[in-house]
Amino acid sequence: MLENILLGFAVAFSLKGLFYCGVGVLLGTVVGVLPGLGSMATLAMLMPITYHIDSNFAVIMLAGIYYGAAYGGSTASILLNLPGTVTSVVTTLDGYPMARNGKAGLALFITAIASFVGSMVGAVLLAGLTVPLASMAMRFGPQEYTALMIFGLIAASMLSTGQPLKSLIMVFVGMLLGLVGIDMSSGVSRYTFDLPELFDGLSLVAIALGLFGLPEIITTARGGPEGKVMDEKISLRSMLPTKAEWKESAGPIMRGTGIGSFFGALPGTGGMIATFISYAVEKRLSKTPEKFGHGALAGVASPEAANNAAVQTAFIPTMSLGIPGDAVMAMMLGVLMVHGVIPGPQVITEHPDLFWGLVASFVVGNVLLVLLNIPLVGLWVRLLKVPYHLLYPVMIAFVCVGIYSVRSSVLDLYILLGAGIVGIVLKLLRFESSTLLLGFVLGPMIEENFRRTMTVTNGDFSSFLSRPIAAVFVFASVAIVGFFVIRYVMRLVMPGQIQQTN
């Protein structure tokens, strides 16, 4: 363990490691501060860059963007009452009232500290839990992997913030898109329309950018973030909390960290659910619940700690089992596969420099983020005042150049445009685009392991139930689907009673 940790810090503290980590957290912070864009869109836009650098530093930079956006998202929430990211929605409930009461500096400082604590605890859990999980996963056969991936997709669909049926439909659409290309088993082309550019399948970058990048940019440019930045001058002295405020925020930070760490490691939940639950817990435990919504310090500290802890622990199932819990982790797996790194437990054994370098970069990146978010608050305030109509043309141009640079294919630009139109339609119809991307990444992996199972067992489906671990995931999947089906039927039979219970 000590040798692995030293190896990780050797990667993270190398000149390239520090550079790409710094670039990642800086871009993530900027993205988080700008309302309306979001980490998913930015990750999709910057993913083409990572194809031209070493896999170790590519993952470090993308991870830095991910948790950097979680840090920066609170700034617009507090100063502008507009969440920079989806997971910062809860922060607006008490962060903006604190700013209006002259405590913007305090809210920003507590947010930075809560984010730091949550992230560091999440990084420790990542280092401590991933290796045992990977050791157990080394004993998995194709039955276990098939059942586990199906369970992950079902959990992501049913436990998402949208409607379960719509999310499940998007999973199947994503799996169908994943079938495009040459079948590795038979050598037959599927849905390629005799276009050589499609023999390797649809471009993950074009699909991700089309679903998340273009819709976010176009929607924000069309509506424009409305709100006025607080004119209050924020000094370092105004940011420092008193002894009583330290004491008031300590408990919520630790509770939020625990809640975020738990939900972050579960497929399909993540930071969004963790922040709402942590906020509800603090309001329930508070002796003065009437302060929530009017500038309660706990209402800022706990959700931010939960959000950042969930971001770090989301890497646990991704790095140990090769199962992404959300769309961001699916993109991480896509980057690894492009670099020839097979997702799963073998990443830790065959590429220890990549895994431990990533863990060590979390420590480096979180320290950099504290230094970026506290002394440079004035810079972020000025950035919020830049008109958005000057920003989005540059973003769209950057998207197109990035897409073309990956495979030098004009067809990828058409795929980007088509996926962008589909992404806008899905957003208007309130479908979950993130589950489509999960299905797109995991679909081919499920097909491969399912075929391997059928080959080994001569087509015997009972092997999924005769192997204990696979059976557990099968029954868990059935239980989740059964629960939502029963709840739906009960809503049809007793709509009034179910609504009162909810």
- Note the pLDDT tens digit of each residue in 34-78: 665 666 666 767 777 777 788 888 888 888 888 887 777 777 777
Q: Do the domain assignments include residue 483?
A: yes
Partnered with residue 182 across adjacent β-strands are 189
pLDDT attached to residue 19? 92
* Residue matched to tokens 């080994």: 456
In the structure, what pLDDT confidence band is assigned to residue 221 with cuts at 50, 70 and 90?
Answer: low
E strands present in 141-183 = 181-182
| The pLDDT of residue 232 is above 80 | no
Q: Do the domain assignments include residue 360?
A: yes
103 vs 105: CA distance, rounded Å:
5
pLDDT attached to residue 431? 83
Partnered with residue 181 across adjacent β-strands are 190
Contact in structure between 369 and 25 (CB atoms under 8 Å): yes
Please give the C-alpha separations between residue 30 and each of 26, 257, 281, in angstroms, as whole numbers.
6, 24, 30
357 vs 126: CA distance, rounded Å:
12
- Higher per-residue pLDDT: 220 or 20: 20
Nearest residue to 436 via CA among 343, 347, 331: 331
Please give the C-alpha separations between residue 94 and each of 104, 292, 436, 499, in angstroms, as whole numbers.
11, 7, 33, 28
Pick from 166-180, 249-263, 333-347: least confident: 333-347
What is the token pair recorded at 262? 């738990």
Contact in structure between 90 and 301 (CB atoms under 8 Å): no
Q: Do the domain assignments include residue 33?
A: yes
Q: Tell how far CA 54 is from the center of its chain.
A: 22
What is the token pair recorded at 242? 């008193």
What is the token pair recorded at 237? 């002295």
Contact in structure between 44 and 5 (CB atoms under 8 Å): no
pLDDT (mean) for 418-432: 84
Which residues are within 8 A (CB) of 24 and not within 5 positions of it... i.e. 6 or more apart? 60, 61, 62, 63, 64, 65, 68, 365
Contact in structure between 118 and 309 (CB atoms under 8 Å): yes
Q: Which residue type does 108 have?
A: L
Cα first-last separation, the chain: 47
pLDDT attached to residue 92? 77
Nearest residue to 109 via CA among 69, 70, 71: 71
Contact in structure between 268 and 326 (CB atoms under 8 Å): yes
Eight-state DSSP code of residue 123: H
Buried b (16+ CB within 10 A) or exposed e, 134-172: beebeebebbbbbbbbbbbbbbbbbbbeeebebbbbbbe
Q: Do the domain assignments include residue 186?
A: yes
Specify the DSSP element, H or E, that contains 189: strand 189-190
pLDDT attached to residue 475? 92
Contact in structure between 41 and 85 (CB atoms under 8 Å): no
Q: Which residue type does 393 have?
A: P
Q: Do the domain assignments include residue 395?
A: no
pLDDT attached to residue 86? 59
Q: Do the domain assignments include residue 367?
A: yes
Contact in structure between 441 and 334 (CB atoms under 8 Å): yes
pLDDT (mean) for 289-301: 83
Q: Do the domain assignments include residue 225?
A: no
Specify the DSSP element, H or E, that contains 334: helix 327-338
pLDDT (mean) for 464-486: 87
Eight-state DSSP code of residue 293: T
Q: Which domain holds residue 151?
A: 2-200+252-385+432-501
What is the token pair recorded at 457? 């067992």
Exposed/middle/buried for 388, CB within 10 Å: 0-12, 13-18, 19+?
middle
187 vs 179: CA distance, rounded Å:
13
| Identity of the highest mean pLDDT range in 147-161, 219-233, 362-376 | 362-376
* Residue matched to tokens 């081919």: 444
Pick from 232-236, 377-381, 406-410: least confident: 232-236
pLDDT (mean) for 210-222: 71
263 vs 266: CA distance, rounded Å:
5
Pick from 290-304, 372-386, 449-463, 471-485: least confident: 372-386
| The pLDDT of residue 18 is above 50 | yes
pLDDT (mean) for 419-429: 85
Farthest CA pair distance, the chain: 72
Nearest residue to 305 via CA among 269, 261, 257: 257
Residue 289 CB neighbour total at 10 angstroms: 13
Total number of domains constituting the chain: 1
What phi, psi does 299 have (nearest 5°)? -70, -15
In the structure, what pLDDT confidence band is assigned to residue 226 with cuts at 50, 70 and 90?
Answer: very low
Q: Do the domain assignments include residue 409?
A: no
461 vs 485: CA distance, rounded Å:
24
DSSP symbols for 51-79: TTS-HHHHHHHHHHHHHHHHHHHHHHHHH
Mean pLDDT (the chain, rounded): 79
